[in-house]
Amino acid sequence: MALKITDECINCDVCEPACPNQAISLGPEIYVIDPLRCTECVGHFDEPQCVSLCPVDCIPKDADCEESHTELDAKYRRLTAGQQP
C-alpha cells in the first residue's frame, strides 16, 4: 500500500529529499506522494523514511492504494531496473 500525506502537513520539507524513489513532490498546498512511485521504501530501507522523519505524523498508509510487500518489491525492481547499485 502506498503512503499519502494528509492536510496536517506543515510543509517542513524533510520528506521530499528523503524519498529514494522521488515519489514526493510539492503539490498546490502540501506535499503529495505519487502512488505509482511509492514503495514504502521497500528495497531501500526497513521503514518508510518519510514516516520516520515527519515531525507531525501526517503520512499514513493510503487505503485506496493497497499493495502487498511482494507488489511493493516488484514496483521497487521496476523503478530501479537498469540503475547501478
pLDDT tens digits for range 50-83 = 999 999 999 999 999 999 999 999 999 999 997 7
In a domain, 4, yes or no: no
The answer to whether residue 9 is domain-embedded is no
What per-residue confidence (pLDDT) applies to 82?
Answer: 72
Counting residues of the chain whose pLDDT is more than 90, the rounded percentage is 92
Q: Residue 26 pLDDT > 80, yes or no?
A: yes
Is the per-residue pLDDT at 84 higher than 60?
A: no
Evaluate whether residue 57 is within a structural domain.
Answer: yes
Q: What's residue 25's pLDDT?
A: 97
How many independent structural domains does the chain possess? Answer: 1
| CB 2, CB 33: distance < 8 Å | yes
Query: How does residue 85 score in pLDDT terms, banded at 50, 70 and 90?
Result: low
Per DSSP, helices labelled H in 12-57 are 15-18, 49-53
Domain, as residue range, for 48 = 15-80
Residue-averaged pLDDT of the chain: 94
